[in-house]
Structure 1
């Protein structure tokens, strides 16, 4: 194999592409919402075998639990593939998690309730990242001119020439001159 072949890079490339895909959407919000829907929908229909005895969890709210679980799974997938509705999906998953407490065996024995609640909160708090600038655009960041002027002023002070120091006036960008930190207070 030479340096130009990509023989063993298949998994690495796939992992990198998944990482980029995951970073562009509320992945963990969708994951927890989807994960919360599974126990809510499953437990009312589950039966546990203990030797010769069968313990069935069937309740009168089985259909309601199934609807809530399927809606939570659908909202989790929606968060992954339609980021524009993240606020609606977050609020809906929180409300469905709260409704699952009385309807579905204490929200899937609190496992589904807590996962759906965390997923809804993550969906509401997620914000898309800012786009990365292209490499060809060499634009100076906001406040870079003030930082350069301050650095020049420090060099003039070190040389003992105070008359040539550029004076920075108080403007709306002085908060950005110190690396984005405001010195008030």
Structure 2
């Protein structure tokens, strides 16, 4: 091991920062919640739960439908991560699949999968990419066009704000 090779801490820090940058450029939490919502919807109709000596089967006649809905939700969650351009379509589709899972799949995976997929779809629809670094710096520095009441109006007037927050136009 040479003196110039990075240590374990440096490699962990590098991968953590790289993951943070990747996570920030896409609707990460929306995809994660949608994936987590698809798992109980797909799994519970095929599960055998043991309560003491009693085995409870959750199988329904719509087990194949539950499996398809769960797999589609997992696929939509991965789509939100890796193709964030279609995030609105994936969000709407996951909300619709979550609603369909209520009658098809044991009340949407006992409401757990339903709620996770519904929240994930809503987060995906509402997510917006961050502004590029140049635009964010321009806004924070107070450049032209960034103030709420701009001084240089086309008609030669200035906007002023009084002590009570009222907006007035002076010539």
Q: Which runs of 5+ in 1 are unaligned?
A: 135-139, 147-167
TM-score w.r.t. structure 2 length? 0.79
Larger radius of gyration between Structure 1 and Structure 2: 1
1:184 corresponding residue in structure 2 = 167
User: Are positions 1:27 and 2:15 aligned together?
Assistant: no
Q: Is the alpha carbon distance of 1:4 and 1:183 closer, same or farther for their aligned partners in structure 2, counting shifts above 3 Å? A: farther
Q: Distance in 1 between matches of 2:83 and 2:131?
A: 18
**Alpha-carbon distance in 2 for matches of 1:88, 1:144:** 33
Residue 116 in structure 1 maps to residue 117 in structure 2: yes
Q: Compared with structure 1, are the counterparts of its residues 107 and 169 closer, same or farther at alpha carbon in structure 2 (3 Å cutoff)?
A: closer
In the aligned structure 2, how far is the partner of 1:122 from the partner of 1:183? Answer: 36
Aligned counterpart, 1:128: 129
Give the superposed CA RMSD.
Answer: 3.3
Give deviations 1:30-67, integer Å, cap 9, x for gaps.
00001100000010000012344321111001000000
**1:5-40 CA distance string (max 9 Å, x none):** 521211111111000000000000100001100000
Give the Cα separation in 1 of the matches to 2:145 and 2:86. 37
Gap regions ≥5 residues in structure 2: 136-140
How far does the alpha carbon of each residue in 1:134-165 deviate from its partner, in whole angstroms, 9 at most, with x for none?
Answer: 9xxxxx7532899xxxxxxxxxxxxxxxxxxx
When residues 34 and 50 of structure 1 are mapped into structure 2, their CA distance, relative to the original with a 3 A threshold, is same
Count matched residues. Answer: 156
How many angstroms apart in 1 are the aligned matches of 2:104 and 2:145?
A: 58
Q: Please report the TM-score for the alignment, with normalisation by the length of structure 1.
A: 0.73
Structure with a larger share of its residues in strand: 2
Aligned to 1:6: 6
SS in 1 for 2:134: coil
